[in-house]
Structure 1
Amino acid sequence: MSEERKKILEVDDLSVHFHVRGQVLKAIHHVSMDLYEGEVLAIVGESGSGKSVLTKTFTGMLEENGEIAGGTIVYNGKHLEELKKDKQWEGIRGNEIATIFQDPMTSLDPIRTIGSQIAEVIVKHQHKSKAEAKKLAIDLMNRTGIPNAADRYNEYPFEYSGGMRQRIVIAVALACRPNILICDEPTTALDVTIQAQILDLIKDLQKEYGFTVIFITHDLGVVASIADRIAVMYSGRIIEYGTCDEIFYDPKHPYTWSLLSSLPQLAQRGGQLYSIPGTPPSLYKDIVGDAFAPRDPWAMKVDFKAEPPFFKVTDTHYAKTWLLDPRAPKTEKPELIQNLHERMSEVMSASHLENLDLGGKDSDGE
């Protein structure tokens, strides 16, 4: 990442704990990360790796039994970890940092019209009159790809498809004019075609409005076309981060290798899709060594005894694995992902040809 770019968010040594039935669940473990103005940072990892919990600390949305146990979160000079009450978050949440969630129906009021929900946000955050808010809401609906927006302003959420509802949720978030937009698995519930449309929409709107994006997903394939940088999370830890190309084509941590090997695009027709063996460790127990070691076929004795530090690969690429220690045996990434660039290109080309074939048929399918 260029030193010229401004850091908009700095997280240093952050830990988050939850108190559950008399036990302490350590959801985030000494995480440090920077977010640069205008970039798309993807945070990837399996369910339960801590992706959503991490970003909830940026908007003060931790559950009541959760707490920041240590570390700092600095946004434009403000220490967010010091904010404890909803009143203190009013100027940040939505206004400066907004979130799009996975299920749009949980974000929209089912008994209120679509237009009124967008307009309400505009009145509150942009201090416009109701007439101005309606005009701006229709404009946002148009910009997010809602056809006949003026006519559909007074419709209800149930009258929209899943993809259209997600576009409305994006419109609501943008009505706040945020500096940072957190996209928490916003395409998971959508089919592949609509998923691609939503990703393109987010990219286009980012160029137009200039906001910074944090994109959360369990699927590395989703962020290949949208991310500038990728942070890989496992068991509440960031275990590797780098540019999109570095993570895809020169990954260093065995967990990142496993995530890439699991890409559906790499599955052979009639063959089995690779799955990571075992299960993540319990977050109620202290983890000794590398958290991924029990599932790692490349694990060494040291992986079960000491947590690895971050090793520098390039100025933009770091990985938390003992395999990068100069004393470690030379280890190659799995054969399945050794020519990932070529394999992905082949998949994309084949998909393109199929689309051309389909497009070439006449209305009778001949």
Structure 2
Amino acid sequence: MENKTILSVKDLSVDFQVRGRQLKAIRHVSLDLRDQETLAIVGESGSGKSVLTKTFTGMLERNGRITNGTIQYEDKVLSDFKKDSDWNGIRGKGITTIFQDPMTSLDPIRTIGSQISEVVVKHQKKSPKEAKKIAIDLMERTGIPNAKERYNEYPFEYSGGMRQRIVIAVALACHPKILICDEPTTALDVTIQAQILELIKDLQKEYHFTTIFITHDLGVVASIADRIAVMYSGQIIELGTCDEIFYDPRHPYTWSLLSSLPQLATKDAGLYSIPGTPPSLYKDIEGDAFAPRNSVAMKIDFKKEPPMFRVSDTHWAKTWLLDPRAPKVEKPALIQNLHEHFVEMMKTEATMNFEEGGATID
């Protein structure tokens, strides 16, 4: 049975006023978020990923405003909120965010434990003594060794990965229903990144929250996402299950993102990069925003914006290539056998790890 919709975005547009000019950051986005799922939002920098999710917590910059559409969370219409006080029951306990740099969320001159305890007191209505016990428990659950002894340490005494674990503990202290992870592992090395992703995945099973994972790297979300929304120039241009996006992508921009995966780089060809740059969002975009960078673009791509075509019950893509009248175009050879490539890559990694362990087979 499909989980219920916990948050629904309908035809949302967001504009920013920048030096007397209007920048259209989000352009008519619709999206339903399901209870306890993990939705990954991917796309290049500037595609609108963070701006979209900031509207869920009322954290748009002062020069930004919702110009069209609605955001409904449970029985509340968030897009109607006008004052900070309207958000008191939403931020934290309803929807909370983990940012890329943990030091933007932690107070450098207060102890780690006091920062977690404060949130427990506020959102769980516990006494200071109870809050301390819960804070230490959260530190242990998020993988902080010797949590009781480290309760009174300061953020500078923790590594980057450990600070990110503390930020996760602070977020969980709110008992959120939706956890937004805004590029939480970008600044971490690959090993720590994998640990944080696994931690979020495990905690989601334990605490039953919904996760939105924002990243520019499709490879990061391959093992944790249930569904993936691909954003480009302020729009969702493809939406589907993880398998559909990886193994049956339909939009040329999704093809390009997949082709850019570092795992697909070769000694001969190097790493693929998407040619050109995204269009200016100060101007009205005519046709498909990706058309100038698309080697298989048709004349109609430059003249008329495509609708969102249905590929399956769970898969949609905003490209004229899905129109019955369009010529048949194959996705790039580099990503045609992506499943087989990942299987082979995992076998190679397993072999290397085995050999590094010093084991031998007689």
TM-score by length of 1: 0.97
User: Which residue of structure 2 aligns with residue 226 of structure 1?
Assistant: 224
Q: CA deviation at 1:350?
A: 1.2
Amino acid at match of 2:148: A
Q: Separation in 1 of the partners of 2:269 and 2:250? A: 26
The whole-number CA distance in structure 1 between the counterparts of 2:298 and 2:180 is: 37
What is the CA–CA distance in structure 1 between the aligned matches of 2:359 and 2:244, rounded to whole Å?
A: 40
Structure 1 partner of 2:288: 290
Structure 2 counterpart of 1:52: 50
1:153-203: CA deviation from partner (whole Å, max 9, x where unpaired): 000001101000000000000000000000000000000100000000000
CA displacement at 1:85 relative to structure 2:
1.2
Tell me the residue number matched to 1:33. 31
| Whole-angstrom CA distance in 1 between matches of 2:18 and 2:230 | 26
Residue in structure 2 matched with residue 173 of structure 1 by the alignment: 171
Aligned to 1:239: 237
The answer for the alignment partner of 2:343 in structure 1 is 345
Within a 5 Å distance, the mapping from 1:84-233 to structure 2 comes to 84-233=82-231
CA distance 1:297–1:270, shift in 2 (3 Å) = closer
Mapped contact 1:44–1:216 kept (Cα < 8 A): yes
Unaligned segments of structure 2, at least 5 residues = none
1:82 aligns with 2:87: no
Q: Percent of counterpart pairs with the same letter?
A: 77
- The Cα offsets for residues 29-88 of structure 1, whole Å up to 9 and x where unpaired, read as 000000000100000000000000000000000000000001000000210001111111
Deviation track 1:98-148 (CA, whole Å, cap 9, x = no partner) reads 000000011110111000000000001111000000000000000000000
Equivalent position SS for 2:31: strand
Q: What letter matches 1:25 in structure 2?
A: L
Instruction: Tell me if structure 2 keeps the 8 A contact 1:289–1:303.
Output: yes
SS at structure 2 position matched to 1:46: coil
Cα contact 1:266–1:344 (8 A) shared by 2: no
Tell me the equivalent position of 2:10. 12
Task: Say which SS state the counterpart of residue 188 (structure 1) adopts.
Answer: coil
Supply the distance in 1 between the matched residues of 2:100 and 2:147 (Cα, whole angstroms).
23
Aligned equivalents of 1:147, 1:257: Cα separation in 2: 42
Whole-angstrom CA distance in 2 between matches of 1:34 and 1:80: 14
Letter in 2 for 1:172: V
Q: Secondary structure at the match of 1:284?
A: coil
Name the CA distance, whole Å, in 2 between partners of 1:212 and 1:285: 35
Residue 247 of structure 2 is matched in structure 1 by 249
Q: Distance in 2 between matches of 1:159 and 1:358?
A: 32
1:52 is paired with a residue whose SS is helix
SS in 1 for 2:27: strand
Counterparts of 2:353 and 2:107 in 1: how far apart (Å)? 38
Retained in 2: the 8 A contact 1:30–1:71? yes
Q: Contact between 1:18 and 1:67, CA under 8 Å: does it hold in 2?
A: yes
Separation in structure 2 between the aligned mates of residue 193 and residue 356 of structure 1, nearest angstrom? 17
Q: Distance in 2 between matches of 1:225 and 1:346?
A: 16
Query: Number of residues paired by the alignment?
Result: 360
Give the drift of 1:358: 1.4
Amino acid corresponding to residue 252 of structure 2 in structure 1: P
Letter in 2 for 1:220: L
Distance 1:358 1:322 in 2: 49
State the alpha-carbon separation in 2 of the partners of residues 349 and 192 from structure 1. Answer: 19
RMSD: 1.0
Q: Secondary structure at the match of 1:265?
A: helix
CA–CA distance in structure 2, aligned partners of residues 112 and 191 of structure 1: 26
Deviations 1:216-264 (A, max 9, x none): 0000000000000000000000000000000000000000000000000
- Secondary structure at the aligned position of 1:275 is classed as coil
Q: For 1:5 and 1:157, locate their aligned partners in 2 and report how far apart those are by CA, in whole Å.
A: 38
Hey, which bits of structure 1, 4+ residues long, moved more than 6 A? none
Q: Which residue does 1:71 correspond to in 2?
A: 69
CA distance in 2, matches of 1:166, 1:269: 35
Counterpart-to-counterpart distance in 2, 1:246 and 1:322: 18
> Cα offset for 1:344?
1.1
Cα distance in 2 between the residues matched to 1:263 and 1:83: 40
